[in-house]
């Protein structure tokens, strides 16, 4: 079925329908990051609205095999929140995420919420990064991402299809 409408929608920060319980959980996940400036949290919700996984940047939640291959493939990078969440999903196929193959059916049409807290505890831009996370999440066939997008210093909530 073709998608109708814009690939990105922007809504007010407080009134957006995407500012829901999962968005709040993504904020909580961001608070768990050991980092000071870049604190991101990610929440993955399946197509039926069930919470699948959560993670934070610099998190140590991903399973050890996933972490090994992640740091091998992205040397010098920290663990990104989205990948922390992907890498802790209990699945024999979790490594296929790094090989950019779909992981079973689990993530198909799922949604990822990404929240960033700045050093001043304010919402910060949190679109999944274009170098690591976006391409992997797209290959994993997630449907869309909900993240913070700032315009002239004001935060908005963006929903973008992969």
Check: CB of residue 11 under 8 Å from CB of residue 156.
yes
> Which of 9, 32, 132, 150 is the binder for Zn ion (CB under 5 A)?
132
Nearer to Zn ion, 95 or 132 (CB): 132
Please work out the total of residues on this chain that contact Zn ion, with binding judged by CB under 5 A: 4
Cα–Cα distances in Å, from 66 out to 47, 99, 134, 137, 156? 24, 11, 17, 15, 33
Interface mask toward Zn ion for 35-74; x: CB under 5 A:
----------------------------------------
Minimum Å gap between C-beta 4 and Zn ion is: 29
Identify the residue among 27, 61, 67, 80 touching Zn ion (CB under 5 A): 80
Closest CA to 136 of 65, 79, 92: 79
| 133: contact with Zn ion by CB under 5 A | yes
Residue 5 or 75: the one with the smaller Cβ distance to Zn ion is 75
Q: To the nearest whole angstrom, how small is the minimum distance from the Cβ of residue 133 to Zn ion? A: 3
Compute the distance between CA of residue 34 and CA of residue 40 in angstroms, rounded to an integer.
10
Q: Which position among 16, 129, 160, 161 is part of the footprint of Zn ion (CB under 5 A)?
A: 129
Taking CA atoms, 146 is separated from 34, 44, 64, 77, 139, in Å, by 23, 10, 28, 23, 17
Q: At closest approach, how far in Å is the CB of 3 from Zn ion?
A: 24
Distance CA 108, CA 65 (A): 22
21 vs 60, beta carbon nearer Zn ion: 60
Give the shortest CB-68-to-Zn ion separation in angstroms: 18
In 3D, which of 45, 37, 29, 2 has the Cα closest to residue 159? 45
Contact indicator for 73, 107 with CB cutoff of 8 Å = no
Of 5 and 76, the one with the shorter C-beta distance to Zn ion is: 76
Q: Which residues bind Zn ion (CB under 5 A)?
A: 80, 129, 132-133
């Amino acid at each position: 079925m073709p998608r109708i409408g814009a690939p990105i929608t922007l809504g007010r920060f407080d009134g957006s329908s995407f500012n829901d319980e999962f968005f709040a959980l993504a904020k909580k996940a961001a608070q768990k990051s050991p980092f000071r400036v870049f604190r991101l949290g990610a929440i993955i919700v399946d197509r039926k609205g069930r919470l699948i996984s959560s993670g934070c940047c610099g998190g140590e939640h991903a399973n050890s095999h996933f972490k090994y291959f992640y740091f091998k493939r992205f040397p010098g990078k920290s663990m990104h929140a989205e990948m922390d969440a992907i890498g802790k999903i209990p699945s024999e196929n979790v490594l296929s995420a790094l090989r950019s193959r779909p992981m079973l059916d689990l993530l198909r049409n799922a949604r990822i919420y990404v929240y960033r807290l700045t050093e001043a505890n304010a919402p910060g831009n949190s679109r999944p990064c274009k170098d690591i996370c976006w391409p992997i999440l797209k290959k994993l066939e997630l449907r869309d991402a909900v993240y913070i997008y700032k315009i002239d210093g004001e935060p908005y909530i963006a929903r973008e299809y992969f």
